[in-house]
A and B are shown apart, each in its own frame.
Chain A
């Protein structure tokens, strides 16, 4: 027997049915009935009050990336909903399953430019996998059921449900639906075409210089173990995409780091020279490939992806394998033969050694630079036993270069949209999802200030998040582009910063400024030892830039390298 429930009650009961434990949100007029029902239910789901709705969507994203579960955020109509959009677009680009609920003006006001009315379905349409506007309570239960299913299946993504205020207040007999009727949506859960798998295996077996690119699809499909088995059986070196970092242990003998615009030189050389590439769950975007037509020019490319639209979207593929990465790799494993590739691995080792000689950490310098901080952080976190959430910019690239991720889902970063301000709120979501995990935010001084209002959320939830600000007084990556492409004219990039330690103090968060290399490791240990959140303001050398660097539209082989040690500083740049 179905009980009579209000729209708001239906939302919460549906979330409970979906196993949701936490939502991130901020109330307002058009979502008030739903919030009121949360109070009436005595908060069966923990509600994290955010300071700004952008934080809510990033928190849901961080929660989802850290745990693999659907993250949920909630906001009111109009500005509340539009503030979510950056987080939805971020999640859409990086295939992150999140659900957004937004209040909408009552149906009687819809289309009449009511107070705080915005066309949220229209605005969110291009940045969601799907969305709904609910103007009749009878459509609400099925929409929620469908939305969760769509968000987490196939290629995951954000889904938004916009609920008119009177629908939240209306009531009807409710049972959560058990079945879904989506005739146009059958995510490909079946094993991929066996013929394609066999072709792929044959290519791998015949390869002399094979290479694997492991993308985030590997962690979404829970295929890390199978990928490793395949690499170890065939002795194929594994590079990752930026989002694929952690899908293959960064300290594994076959790991060759990650490739692309700021990938290590030896990794990019290997990508350009390989004769067979197996790309798994990576969408081969321009930051990885460089100029599309120059990418891996000698390689026959096998592309495993669950999204058929990714096949040949950017790069011409020799053997497309459409399907779930786990099923594809499982099918491929018995068909690939053990192999050695000694000459190829030796060539890569040579490139790696040459790259190492140019490494900034092997240069004599007392300056406090981010690579040193990232490597210190790696040591201090038992060599990879932490979740690092970065913001976007130079620090993000240094983190990816110098922190070896050995665990899957241990680097959360906005790769596709490149959303500055992502780090702090996403870390809050990650910590909410993994309360026992050591969670670090690594952010630049620019991006940190975009969402630092969520420091209050850290204190409100008593989260022990550690924050490392890589503070160089610039919008560093933008400044770097000005250095390289705009004749060092620093238009709009120098920053006027607050005292970050005092700022943290204002929120009740302990902090410390770090100005020298000598104290970096010890400062990290102090932050770790502190019971609660801690902010480290690393005041780094201002003008250090990230290398190697592939200029946009150039080939990966055409890198601006770090200077070789024999050369005078800056000799090659």
Chain B
């Protein structure tokens, strides 16, 4: 819980993979004044259906609005708030860090501790790939910043609920759609 009754929520939305659908989602977030912290989108297990994970900050009223307004988009087939559920969430980051013959081994130790990987080595830098929870990625980045981060890209959070499926009562599905 943040100040003024707002919370960070992780939501998953499934949508038809059609041109412009990302534009519709982005336009909705903007005009409804939803506060999106991260957004990751890619293919789902179903051909033709994309899966979007996004993190949004707001009150319960805003969360309900995010779900119901998003679901009104014609191409959106399902929206789910997984925050209260037992979900696995991960983020991937690629980080290029300064590392020469003097510092490389220290960098490699840190990479080991975080179960990250060095995926490319140059004379004066390495590229590190890390997959983990956001706070783990944050910690790694903080440590690596001591060596000098030259370049970085993060995917934003993706999430999946443990167990057989999703709790139906939190999903806005094709019933009650407008």
Residues of chain A having any CB pair with chain B under 8 Å: 121-122, 125-126, 129-130, 133, 150, 154-155, 182-188, 190, 306-309, 311-313, 322-323
Contacts and interface: CB of A to CB of B under 8 A. Distances in A.
Interface centre among B15, B65, B73, B178 (most CB of A within 10 A): B178
Contacts of B23: 122, 125
Interface of B: 15-16, 19-20, 23-24, 27, 31, 61, 64-65, 68-69, 71-77, 172, 174-178
Contacts of A312: 61, 64
A184 B177 contact: yes
A183 B76 CA distance: 8
Nearest to A306: B178
A126 B31 contact: yes
A323 B178 CA distance: 10
B61 A154 contact: no
Which of A182, A307, A308, A312 counts the most chain B CB atoms within 10 A? A308
A184 B65 contact: no
Given A126-B27, A187-B177, A133 B20 contact: yes
B65 A183 contact: no
B31 A185 contact: no
Nearest to B172: A308
Contacts of A188: 175-178
A130 B74 contact: yes
Interface of A is mostly: loop
A324 to B, nearest CB: 11
B176 A308 contact: yes
B154 to A, nearest CB: 28
Contact of B74 (A185, A306, A322): A185
Contacts of B16: 183-184
Contacts of A133: 19-20
B174 A309 contact: no
A313 B59 CA distance: 12
Contact of B72 (A125, A182, A307): A307
Contacts of B69: 309
A309 B20 contact: no
B178 A184 contact: no
6 contacts: A133-B19, A184-B177, A185-B174, A186-B177, A188-B177, A308-B177
Contacts of B20: 121, 125, 133
B15 A154 contact: no
B177 A185 contact: yes
In terms of DSSP, what is the predominant structure of the interface of chain B?
mixed
A154 B177 CA distance: 8
Contacts of B77: 183-184
A184 B73 contact: yes
The 10 closest A-B CB pairs, nearest first, are A309-B68, A184-B77, A307-B178, A186-B174, A154-B178, A130-B74, A308-B68, A155-B178, A185-B74, A188-B176
A322 B76 CA distance: 19
Given A186-B175, A187-B178, A188-B178, 11 more contacts: A121-B20, A129-B74, A133-B20, A184-B15, A184-B75, A188-B176, A188-B177, A308-B177, A309-B69, A312-B61, A322-B176
A322 B68 CA distance: 12
Contacts of B75: 184
Contacts of B68: 307-309, 311
A309 B61 contact: no
Nearest to B28: A126
Contacts of B176: 188, 308, 322-323
Contacts of B177: 154, 184-188, 308
Contacts of A187: 177-178
Contacts of A190: 175
B74 A313 contact: no
A110 B72 CA distance: 29
Nearest to A157: B178
Contacts of B19: 133
B27 A125 contact: yes
Nearest to A305: B178
A68 B80 CA distance: 35
Contacts of A306: 178
Nearest to A127: B31
A129 B177 CA distance: 13
A313 B63 CA distance: 11
A120 to B, nearest CB: 12
Contacts of B76: 184
Given A122-B23, A183-B16, A184-B16, A308 B178 contact: yes
B65 A313 contact: yes
Nearest to A313: B65
A309 B178 contact: yes
B167 to A, nearest CB: 18
Given A150-B74, A183-B77, A125 B178 contact: no
A104 to B, nearest CB: 14
A185 B177 CA distance: 6
Q: Taking each of A183, A190, A311, which has the highest tally of chain B beta carbons within 10 Å of its own beta carbon? A: A183
A150 B20 CA distance: 18
Contact of A184 (B64, B174, B175): B174
A221 to B, nearest CB: 13
A538 B15 CA distance: 55
Given A184-B15, A188-B176, A309 B27 contact: no
A155 B72 CA distance: 10
A155 B16 CA distance: 21
Nearest to A185: B74
A25 to B, nearest CB: 25
B64 to A, nearest CB: 6
Nearest to B77: A184
Contacts of B65: 309, 313
A182 B31 CA distance: 25
Contacts of A121: 20
Contacts of B24: 125
Q: Which of B19, B77, B176 has the most CB of A within 10 A?
A: B176
Contacts of A122: 23
B173 to A, nearest CB: 9
Nearest to A146: B74
